[in-house]
Amino acid sequence: MKSFDYQLLVIGAGSGGVRAARTAAACGARVAIAEERRLGGTCVSRGCIPKKLLAYAAHYRDDFEDAAGYGWTVAQPVFSWERLVGNKNREIDRLNGVYQDLLEGARVDILRGSAKLTAAHTVSVDGRSVTAEHVLVATGGRPFKPDIPGIEFAITSDEAFELRELPRRILLVGGGYIAVEFAGIFNGLGADVTLAYRGAQILRGFDDDIRRHLNNEMRKKGVTILLETDLAGIARRDDGTLDVEWSRESAQPNAFDAVMFATGRKPNVEGLGLAELGVNLDDDGGIVVDDWQQTNIAGIHAVGDVTNRIALTPVAIREGFAVAATLFGGRRTKVDYDNLPSAVFSQPPIATVGLTEAQALKRFGEVDIYRRDFRPLRHTLSGRDERSLVKLVVDTASQRVVGAHMAGADAPEIIQGIAIAVRMGAKKSDVDATIGIHPTAAEEFVTLREKETKRRQDDDTAPDERKS
Ligand code: FAD
């Protein structure tokens, strides 16, 4: 048998790659991992973790304001972007170190440098050739910016984490979760925020009630949301101000200190040598894999964002685990993508598991909807005009809960627990039989008794929603 330097060589030490490397090593395999940037990947260095730290920072603004209703007198709070970014960077440095310790502790060799496949079992890492029985491509993705005049003046989420100062006026282009989250972050930290999206409503793919609810809440907090609006170009004045040209004339405002594009991400496949080896890629460059993360070329596998499927850290981790268990653990392991919970750390946050109402209607034909829009107890004294929404989607025939959705404080923490019940096939009667924890927002889910008889047009959508 041909001998290789390693049994597994992973390209990319992000969420998926690190989990695959550690799992394979724990199964006794000889493993190396190549990384050209920092250990931990997007999630740790320029994704989930720094984003959530910034979201916490942004929420303090509301907390300071809300404190007054509870008897506190708070001196005028002063915010330092520089201090926040410095502290955030120190935490990321610490996490990079944790990843190094984890890999070294698992006896995974770390190969620093840019990797490229030169043959099915051979990878060149900054010119050094290494062979492996299996190669796992886990190179993630990168932000995508469209080709419009002046696009070089725009930033993406990568640069947003490192801005030298907080922009006074920022435009976020895009309607996905990254645009929505950064809108909440910059708004909370005190910037004037405009979000422009070319679609009819933010957060395509989420339940329509939740999308409308969040749009309303964001606008109440002062974010200007321009829908069905596209950017035609950007020009920079001598003083650094960015003038934008809109696709429709009525759109306002036009001048910003920063423009950030959050218009999707593309798989990181450039320069990896995949096309040369005949690895199948989809139209966006995503690596095509089967249920076992195997490409069409024997010995080459892929997990995570580079496969252009569901770009979330826990999914990449699960795929990394599955591929290692299949190759070295003696267990062919598939990932189950059904009932996948997810959250958007917007202000307020939203979270979801299972099907939206529209998806459920399509799949089951008839569904029962239970929904409550309420003022959280906390805001009775704070006086804040913020509402929460909980919603259950139930398949009428089987009475199984097929979707749970929430917008409001702690939604991600609440939905994580509900996801277990939905995954286990809970029926509406199981939810009803569960005694609530009082007083909480979560108990609203177990006290939803009234089925909506007729789907009504949403009354919480402001009439001027689509206007600038
Ligand atoms: P990555 O984590 O991107 O790791 C890929 C690694 O490969 C990188 O370290 C890269 O440097 C390395 N690499 C690339 N090419 C090469 C090469 N040729 N040689 C060597 N190394 C290479 N997900 C969530 O679940 N929750 C969130 O709240 C969340 N928030 C996000 C916020 C933002 C702003 C962004 C951008 C993403 C967010 N995500 C979130 C998505 C999450 O970060 C990704 O789904 C996850 O990191 C994907 O893991 P991965 O292993 O596929 O790739």
Query: Strand 224-227 relative to strand 192-197: parallel, antiparallel, unpaired?
Result: parallel
Rounded to two decimals, the pTM is: 0.95
Residue 438's identity, in one-letter code, is: H
Query: Strand 128-137 relative to strand 141-143: parallel, antiparallel, unpaired?
Result: unpaired
Residue of 10, 23, 36, 43 to test ligand 1 pocket, by largest number of atoms within 8 Å of CB: 43
> Is 161 within 8 Å of 85 (Cβ atoms)?
yes
- Give pLDDT tens digits along the chain (468 positions): 569 999 999 999 999 999 999 999 999 999 999 999 999 999 999 999 999 999 999 999 999 999 999 999 989 999 999 999 999 999 999 999 999 999 999 999 999 999 999 999 999 999 999 999 999 999 999 999 999 999 999 999 999 999 999 999 999 999 999 999 999 999 999 999 999 999 999 999 999 999 999 999 999 999 999 999 999 999 999 999 999 999 887 778 899 999 999 999 999 999 999 999 999 999 999 999 999 999 999 999 999 999 999 999 999 999 999 999 999 999 999 999 999 999 999 999 999 999 999 999 999 999 999 999 999 999 999 999 999 999 999 999 999 999 999 999 999 999 999 999 999 999 999 999 999 999 999 999 999 999 997 654 444 433 333 222
Instruction: Give dist(CA 144, CA 127) in Å, integer.
Output: 28
Transcribe 311-368 into DSSP letters.
Answer: --HHHHHHHHHHHHHHHHSS-------TT--EEE--SS-EEEEE--HHHHHHHHS-EE
Q: Is 299 exposed, middle or buried (0-12, 13-18, 19+ CB in 10 A)?
A: middle
Residues with CB under 6 A from ligand 1: 11-17, 34-37, 41-43, 47-48, 51, 114-115, 138-140, 157, 178, 268, 272, 304-306, 311-314, 316
Which one, of 277, 322, 280, lies nearest residue 304 by Cα?
322
